[in-house]
């Protein structure tokens, strides 16, 4: 199986300098193929550093990372291949749109992967369609798209490479609620399209609870908690100390004396039951 394994991974910025900073203090994790993992933690906890290590953009100071049983090292050719298999969508990816048309832009990744021009355009078209971009926009400048469309076009450019692992750094940041839902559903569909692994950095616990099946909580370069959303969101106090919260519905239910729900649907179920028990006959 194509799992990602980290063994005691450390990362240090500016080693030896006065501003030396240990961003990762020995991370050990296994992310199995097909999982939808959320990576959460306050600013500076090491999330961005970790995801850059996962696709070989940064090399750890010590420790080991393996993907699909192979160690991620410095070999240039192996790294190029790895970056096609593990795709990263950075924060505000629309700032990186550059080509003269939406279609050409989305074809850039597949071209890099070694596709012919024709294959690359085909892959780009498919990804843009799946991302819900209107056909008539394909020939237009990416700069003419709306904010939400730009974001989806940029994500489609990564999806067009059909990575086996898709990593997203706060993909919904700065979008309105409708735009957020479009992105999250796009990611969800991509996750379900095959045995794809998704690793999503998020500050929004509601979306974490709604979409992920595992929550990895980072604090100061370490993994503070790691488990299913129900396990992790049971620890409101620990999360608070790490500068995080529980989903809003979890808080609401907890205020009503109901422990457990983390998603909207679960909360609706228990609240219905709660009302029924407190108002029998109604
Ligand atoms: P997060 O993504 O969770 O906000 P980062 O991985 O960006 O966290 O940062 C982890 C730590 O590393 C922070 O203390 C941050 O200040 C530091 N850091 C990040 N990038 C650099 C850099 N280029 N140079 C020095 N320190 C950095």
pLDDT tier for residue 32 given thresholds of 50, 70 and 90: very high
Checking if the pLDDT of 206 tops 90, the result is: yes
Which residues fall within 8 angstroms of residue 246, CB to CB, at 6 or more apart? 205, 233, 236, 239, 254, 262
The neighbour count for residue 115, using CB atoms within 10 Å, is 19
pLDDT digits (tens, 9 = 90+) for 164-192: 999 999 999 999 999 999 999 999 999 99
pLDDT value for 1: 77
Residue 277 pLDDT greater than 90, yes or no: no
Q: What is the pLDDT of residues 150-168, one digit of tens each?
A: 999 999 999 999 999 999 9
Atom of ligand 1 nearest to the CA of 201: 2
Cα end-to-end span (Å), the chain: 52
How far apart are the C-alpha atoms of 105 and 192, rounded to whole Å? Answer: 25
What pLDDT, on a 0 to 100 scale, did the predictor assign at position 74? 80
Is the CB of residue 43 below 6 angstroms from any atom belonging to ligand 1? yes
Q: Which atom of ligand 1 is nearest to the CA of 218?
A: 3
pLDDT tens, position by position, 232-268: 999 999 999 999 999 999 999 999 888 999 999 999 9
Ligand 1 contacts CB of residue 44 (under 6 A): yes
Average pLDDT over residues 208-225: 98
Q: Is the pLDDT of residue 11 over 80?
A: yes
Cα–Cα nearest to 108, from 92, 121, 95 = 121
Q: Is the CB of 202 under 6 A from ligand 1?
A: no
41 lines ligand 1 (CB under 6 A): yes
pLDDT in tens, 219-229: 999 999 999 99
The verdict on the CB of residue 279 being under 6 Å from ligand 1 is: no
When the pLDDT of each residue in the chain is averaged and rounded to a whole number, the result is 94
Indicate whether 282 pLDDT > 60.
no
pLDDT, tens digit (0-9, with 9 covering 90-100), for 42-82? 999 999 999 999 989 999 999 999 999 888 888 888 888 89
Q: From the alpha carbon of 52, which atom of ligand 1 is closest?
A: 6
CB distance 13 to ligand 1 below 6 Å:
yes
């Amino acid at each position: 199986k194509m799992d990602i394994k980290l063994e005691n991974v450390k990362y240090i910025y500016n080693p030896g300098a006065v501003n030396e900073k240990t961003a990762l203090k020995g991370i050990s994790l296994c992310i199995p193929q097909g999982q939808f993992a959320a990576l959460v933690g306050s600013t500076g906890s090491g999330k961005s550093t970790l995801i850059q290590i996962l696709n070989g953009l940064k090399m750890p100071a010590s420790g080991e990372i393996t993907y699909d049983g192979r160690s991620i090292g410095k070999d240039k050719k192996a790294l190029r291949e790895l970056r096609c298999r593990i795709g990263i969508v950075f924060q505000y990816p629309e700032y990186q749109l550059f080509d003269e048309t939406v279609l050409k832009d989305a074809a850039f990744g597949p071209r890099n992967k070694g596709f012919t021009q024709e294959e690359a355009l085909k892959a780009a078209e498919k990804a843009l369609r799946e991302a819900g971009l209107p056909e008539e926009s394909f020939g237009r400048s990416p700069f003419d798209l709306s904010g939400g469309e730009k974001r989806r076009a940029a994500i489609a450019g990564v999806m067009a490479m059909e990575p086996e692992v898709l990593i997203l750094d706060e993909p919904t940041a700065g979008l309105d609620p409708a735009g957020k839902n479009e992105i999250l559903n796009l990611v969800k569909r991509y996750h379900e399209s095959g045995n794809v692994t998704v690793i999503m950095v998020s500050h929004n616990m509601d979306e974490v609870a709604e979409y992920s099946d595992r929550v990895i909580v980072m604090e100061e370069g370490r993994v503070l908690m790691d488990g299913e959303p129900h396990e992790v969101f049971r620890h409101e106090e620990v999360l608070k100390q790490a500068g995080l919260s529980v989903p809003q519905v979890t808080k609401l239910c907890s205020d009503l004396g109901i422990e457990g729900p983390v998603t909207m649907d679960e909360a609706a179920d228990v609240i219905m039951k709660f009302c029924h028990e407190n108002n029998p006959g109604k």
